[in-house]
Amino acid sequence: MPITETAENPEWDRVVTAKSGLLDLNLAELWRYRDLIYLFVKRDFVAIYKQTILGPLWFLIQPILSTLVFTIIFGNIAKLPTDNIPPFLFYLCGLVAWSYFSDCLTKSAATFSGNAGIFSKVYFPRLTVPIANALTNLITFAIQFGLFLAVLAYFTWKGAPIETSWRVVILPLLLLQMAMLGIGFGCIVSSLTTRYRDLAMLLSFFVQLWMYASCVLFPLSLYPKEWHWLLVLNPMVPVIESFRFAFLGAGTVEVYQLVSGAIVSLVVFVVGIIVFRHVEKTFSDTI
């Protein structure tokens, strides 16, 4: 909603006009609703495992099962290289990082379609929803990351060729980048799905393809070096590779890749937020 804060209109707290600028982000308002973000996170987290027997254990079962499937198919049958890392650890590492991103993306992408009811009845800054999603996913990530650390410790104890280095301090930055990319891209998809429902159907397929193109299941070193610049146009490649490089000591990371990944993520994030802000004004008319 185009709202100009008090600064320009000392007399009025809120002025809503038909015209709006491109950069009407109004982050101050978002900050005022921080309690709502907190409560959304709490709601989503609590509501997920109410009335399930295994509760939060599901957060662990999912990655273990997928990792097992990948280990059997890609490691044992297709025998793809894993940079000399034990396949189970290699796939789990990639999956844990990837699923944080893909959760951010798919949940943000459902912002408008999933909240149509409440959005058409009450106003609050709509961006609270994707932000809360990214935070809820962070809890899921933490649980799965704990699993990863346990598996990592086990393989280190078994003497696998793993070098966990000081570079793990980059983790928060990687998470931030994934959140920005996921929210930004999700917001774009969500905004478009208010008009084109087909995109929702395409999304899960697209996310899966993206995973195969993001070096989750095979290392970047599998490709000839002269093609790396092309692959890292996909900002998730350097993220996954850095994640593995920091924790397992195996991966191909160069500074230009990290910078380009960060720039692409930032651009997607900003574009996503602008599009989202634009669509939220009239979304209840089209949904």
Partner 1 sequence: MDPIIKVENLGKRYRLGVINRGMLYKDIQSWWARKRGKEDPHSPIRVAQTGGDTSGQEFWAFRNVDFEVKPGEILGVIGRNGAGKSTLLKVLSQITAPTEGHFKLKGRVASLLEVGTGFHGELTGRENIYLNGAILGMSRSEVRSCFDEIVEFAEIGQFVDTPVKRYSSGMYVRLAFSVAAHLQPDILIVDEVLAVGDAAFQKKCLGRMDEAAFKEGRTILFVSHNMASVRSLCTRALLLSGGQLEADGPTGEIVDCYLDKGVLPPSTANQEDSDAARLKITAIHYQTVDGGRTVEVFIGQPIDIVIEYENKNVLPHEEISVGIGLHGPSADLFNNYSHFSGKLFSRIPDKGAFVFRWPSVDLLPGHYLLAVRVVVRKGLNDEEVLAKPSSISLIVAPADFHKEGSGDGLKFGLIAVRGEWKMLPGGKS
In the complex, which residues of this chain contact partner 1 (CB under 8 A)? 1-3, 9, 11-18, 20, 33, 35-36, 38-40, 42-43, 46-47, 50-51, 117-124, 192, 195-196, 281-286
Residues 243, 93 contacting (CB under 8 angstroms):
yes
Tell me if 183 sits within 8 A of 135, measured CB to CB. no
Residue number with CB closer to partner 1 (22 or 77): 22
Structure tokens that stand for 43 in this block: 């709601």
Rounded least distance, CB 18 to partner 1, Å: 5
CB of residue 108 vs partner 1: minimum separation in angstroms?
19
**By C-beta, is 117 or 172 nearer to partner 1?**
117
Find the helix or strand (DSSP H, E) in which 4 lies: strand 3-4
From CA 85, how far away is CA 250, in angstroms rounded?
8
Q: Which is nearer to partner 1, 159 or 286 (CB)?
A: 286
CA 72 from chain centre, in angstroms, equals: 26
Cβ 34 to partner 1 shortest distance, Å = 9
Residue number, 118 or 168, with CB nearest to partner 1: 118
The minimum distance between CB 2 and partner 1, in angstroms, equals 7
Q: Any bridge partners for residue 3, and if so which?
A: 16
